[in-house]
Amino acid sequence: MKNYIMAWRNLWRNKRRTLITVASIFFGVLMSTVMSSMQEGSYSNMIDNVVKFYSGYIQIHEEEYWENKTLYYSFEANEELYTKIESVEGITSYTPRLESFALASSEDITQPVLVMGVDPEKENNLTGLKKRVVEGEYFGENHNSILLASKLAENLGVEINDSIALLGQGYYGNTAAALFVVRGILNFPNPELNKRYAYLDLKDAQHYYSCEDKLTSLNIMVNDYSMVQPVIEELELKLDKPYSAMSWDEMQPELVQMVESDRAGGIIMKAILFMIIGFGILGTIMMMISERRKELGLMVAVGMQKYKLATILFFETVYMGIVGVISGIIASIPIIIYFLHNPAPITGDAGQIMIDMGIEPLLMFAASPGVFLQQVLIVFLITLFISIYPLISVSKLNVIKYLRD
Amino acid sequence: MKIIEIKNLYKIYNETEVEVKAVNGIDLNFEKGEFAAIVGPSGSGKTTLLNLLGGLDAPTSGDISVDGTSLGKLKSSKLIDFRMNNIGFVFQAYNLIPVLTAKENVEFIMHLQGKSKKERDARTKELLTAVGLEDRINSRPTKLSGGQQQRVAVARALASKPKFVLADEPTANLDSKSTENLLDIMERLNKEEGTTFIFSTHDQRVVNKARRVITIEDGKIISDEKKN
């Protein structure tokens, strides 16, 4: 009789008790898996929104740009640079940008604006900017077109085909001043963006700021998040100074912090949940050993080495964990798949907060292997920890006392 | 041929304020093939002596040697192996492993010894046939009567071809028919296999069957009679 078969049979000697313990693991794993999936899905949704709308997964800058964010640290984008970027595996698209500040004036109203010079087609591919147009058109054929965020347009008191003057500082420290015609009004979910953003065609922006062919950033998208680090490593190998590549998390530390602090809250909840489960398993194992003292004594008496006996008890503990964790994960799969395809809308204040942050108010789920593997690992570690108890019991086993029971 | 030599054996318990000499200076030998009963009133030290003989308990002083090997000199894990290869045990309460069938219980020790399946199967079949349970090989202990369980326990004790079998009150929980049946089986196996059987018992039926009767009282041997 192999140890693992004997352990399996032992597990079902008291079916009801084993089933109750397995059920506690089952519900714990089910809850934890669904919760993890929801958390990871929400983070991923949040990150995707930010990454897709603004930063891209990776940005290439002049190495000192991020610290100073002035046109002085813009860089010249040439064919050689594009060729190098295109040769990196995992990059799906990239879009050039020239960003700076200016004052926008219409009649006697002046507002500070963040001017984004973009390649209309590439920008739309990356951020879906065209979908944000609520009035007018998306750039069009004319030069000196400008797209204004809705609140900014309202504050300036301008409408489609009105002109506004932009006044700023050019690349050489010169005054940059020009008139632009409002061709479209954009609406962003984030009120801060709605008050500040103005879009120019990249060529117009370069001309306006007197920095022909220069960019402040190249925004890169990759297949998925896991590709960010390998792509950055390859870019760093291929790009010489003064270029530097930054990942989204380096550019958005506050987002990373928010995700991390939320994740920490989840960890505390899961820790409490699994602690309860752990004590349930421990209680069962203690009962199983206590009820079988005579039998355990007999096994050692007739010649079973204590380590072999400990192995059987270890298998019993692990089996309980395995049955609970597998059934819990199997039960969680249809729930996760359902919500993966039918994200639940978040309404009320919570939904409004998400809208304000520029995030779709949806309860997103994730089905990455990590969501499931995490539970397997936790239960495995718990059972491993609990199996110390049978090991200690067996090491202290006194054959005579056990046989007398 | 001596297989067990007991010299000046003491087992003293100091668990209470009163010192209890459960085994009080016993010198005893057992020959190969003996069918011996250790008798005496409750608390006389029969079970303690049997536990010491089986290496389940350590003496306070003195020595037990089995075929020249001193049990006291063996470390814990070596002692477990020694028991597995040399000593068979039959307990009053049968002590079969409930999750194993009769066959699996009998081959349990052979499994620990690493014997091949072929060898295990042959020996198990031989022993279960010898104890009259060839038709119950796949029954679990809960499906067997007390007498049947004890017969499986005897088969298990003999499975590893031990030098001797220690049986602690093997008939205490059996009715008279089962007792008679079990004793006949053990006597037959003792003769056929040449295995030494040592019983501790109160049961006169066991005493009647035994070819040697050792009587102890207060941890001392007060008589040691061999029958012809």
| pLDDT beyond 90 at A78 | no
Contacts of A308 in chain B (CB under 8 A): 112
Contact assessment for residue B87 and residue B61, using Cβ atoms and an 8 Å cutoff? no
| pLDDT beyond 80 at A52 | no
The string of pLDDT tens digits covering residues A8-38 is 888 888 888 899 989 999 999 999 999 999 9
Contact assessment for residue B25 and residue B63, using Cβ atoms and an 8 Å cutoff? no
- Cβ <8 Å between B84 and A399: no
Hey, of B99, B105, B150, which one would you mutate to test binding to chain A, going by the most A CBs within 10 A of its CB? Answer: B99
Task: Give dist(CA B164, CA B82) in Å, integer.
Answer: 12
User: If you ran DSSP here, which 8-state letter would residue A73 be given?
Assistant: G
For residues A376-397, average pLDDT: 90
For residues A206-235, average pLDDT: 88
Contacts of B58 in chain A (CB under 8 A): none
- Cβ <8 Å between B108 and A403: no
- The Cα angle at residue B131 between residues B129 and B132, in degrees rounded to 5: 60
Q: Is A153 or A346 the better-scoring residue by pLDDT?
A: A153
The nearest CA of chain B is from the CA of A46 a distance in Å of: 54
**Percent of chain A whose predicted confidence (pLDDT) is above 90:** 40
Query: What is the chain B residue with the closest CA to A14?
Result: B99
pLDDT number for residue B11: 92
pLDDT number for residue B202: 86
| pLDDT beyond 80 at B199 | yes
> How many CB atoms are closer than 10 A to CB A399?
21
The string of pLDDT tens digits covering residues A118-157 is 999 999 988 888 988 999 999 877 788 999 999 999 999 9
- Cβ <8 Å between B112 and A1: no
- Is the entire prediction scored with pTM above 0.95? no
The string of pLDDT tens digits covering residues A244-278 is 889 988 888 888 888 888 889 888 998 998 999 89
Q: Where does A14-149 have alpha helices with state H? A: 15-50, 65-68, 79-86, 120-127
Does A395 touch chain B if contact means CB atoms closer than 8 Å?
no
The string of pLDDT tens digits covering residues A288-297 is 888 889 899 9
b (16+ CB within 10 A) / e for A103-127: ebbbeeeebebbbbbbbbebbbbbb
Closest by CA position to A367, among listed A331, A336, A326, A335: A336
Does B93 touch chain A if contact means CB atoms closer than 8 Å?
yes
> Which residue's structure tokens are 């002590």?
B95
Does A396 touch chain B if contact means CB atoms closer than 8 Å?
no
pLDDT number for residue B178: 85
Hey, of B82, B97, B103, which one would you mutate to test binding to chain A, going by the most A CBs within 10 A of its CB? Answer: B97
Closest by CA position to B205, among listed B226, B186, B224: B186
The string of pLDDT tens digits covering residues A174-185 is 899 999 999 999
Query: What is the chain B residue with the closest CA to A300?
Result: B80
Query: What is the chain B residue with the closest CA to A294?
Result: B95
- Cβ <8 Å between B51 and A400: yes
Hey, of B48, B50, B95, which one would you mutate to test binding to chain A, going by the most A CBs within 10 A of its CB? Answer: B95
CATH of the domain at B110: 3.40.50.300
The string of pLDDT tens digits covering residues B158-175 is 898 899 999 998 888 888
- Cβ <8 Å between B98 and A13: yes
Hey, of B78, B79, B80, which one would you mutate to test binding to chain A, going by the most A CBs within 10 A of its CB? Answer: B80
The nearest CA of chain A is from the CA of B54 a distance in Å of: 8
> Which residue's structure tokens are 């930063």?
A55
- Cβ <8 Å between B89 and A302: yes
- Cβ <8 Å between B77 and A306: yes
Query: What is the chain A residue with the closest CA to B89?
Result: A302
- Cβ <8 Å between B109 and A303: yes
The half-sphere exposure of B125 on its side-chain side, counting CA atoms within 13 A, is 6
Task: Give dist(CA A319, CA A287) in Å, integer.
Answer: 16
Contact assessment for residue A21 and residue A379, using Cβ atoms and an 8 Å cutoff? no
Among candidates A1, A13, A400 on the partner chain, residue whose Cβ is nearest the Cβ of B104 = A1
For residues A379-391, average pLDDT: 90
Contacts of B156 in chain A (CB under 8 A): 302
- Cβ <8 Å between A302 and B83: yes
For residues A340-345, average pLDDT: 89
> How many CB atoms are closer than 10 A to CB A194?
21
Query: What is the chain A residue with the closest CA to B58?
Result: A400
For residues B112-130, average pLDDT: 91
The string of pLDDT tens digits covering residues B82-95 is 999 999 999 888 88
- Cβ <8 Å between B99 and A9: yes
Q: DSSP for chain B, please give it.
A: -EEEEEEEEEEEE-SSSS-EEEEEEEEEEEETT-EEEEE--TTSSHHHHHHHHTTSS--SEEEEEETTEEGGGS-HHHHHHHHHHHEEEE-TT----TTS-HHHHHHHHHHHHT--HHHHHHHHHHHHHHTT-GGGTT--GGGS-HHHHHHHHHHHHHHT--SEEEEESTTTTS-HHHHHHHHHHHHHHHHHH--EEEEEE--HHHHHH-SEEEEEETTEEEEEEE--
Query: What is the chain B residue with the closest CA to A307?
Result: B77
The nearest CA of chain A is from the CA of B130 a distance in Å of: 21
Closest by CA position to B225, among listed B210, B9, B217: B210
Query: What is the chain B residue with the closest CA to A301?
Result: B56
The nearest CA of chain B is from the CA of A290 a distance in Å of: 15
pLDDT number for residue A110: 93
Contacts of A301 in chain B (CB under 8 A): 54, 56, 83, 89
For residues B15-37, average pLDDT: 89
- Cβ <8 Å between A303 and B56: no
Task: Give dist(CA A298, CA A219) in Å, integer.
Answer: 71
pLDDT number for residue B48: 92
- Cβ <8 Å between B99 and A303: no
| pLDDT beyond 70 at A356 | no
How many structural domains compose chain B?
1
Does B97 touch chain A if contact means CB atoms closer than 8 Å?
yes
Identity of the amino acid at A207: H
- Expressed as residue numbers, the domain containing B202 is 2-226
> Which residue's structure tokens are 């990059």?
A91
pLDDT number for residue A358: 66
Query: What is the chain B residue with the closest CA to A296?
Result: B97
Task: Give dist(CA A375, CA B109) in Å, integer.
Answer: 39
Identity of the amino acid at B47: T
**Percent of chain A whose predicted confidence (pLDDT) is above 70:** 99
The nearest CA of chain B is from the CA of A394 a distance in Å of: 13
Hey, of A14, A288, A298, A302, which one would you mutate to test binding to chain B, going by the most B CBs within 10 A of its CB? Answer: A302
pLDDT number for residue B215: 94
Give B 163-222 residues with CB within 8 A of chain A: none
- Cβ <8 Å between B89 and A301: yes
- Cβ <8 Å between A303 and B93: no
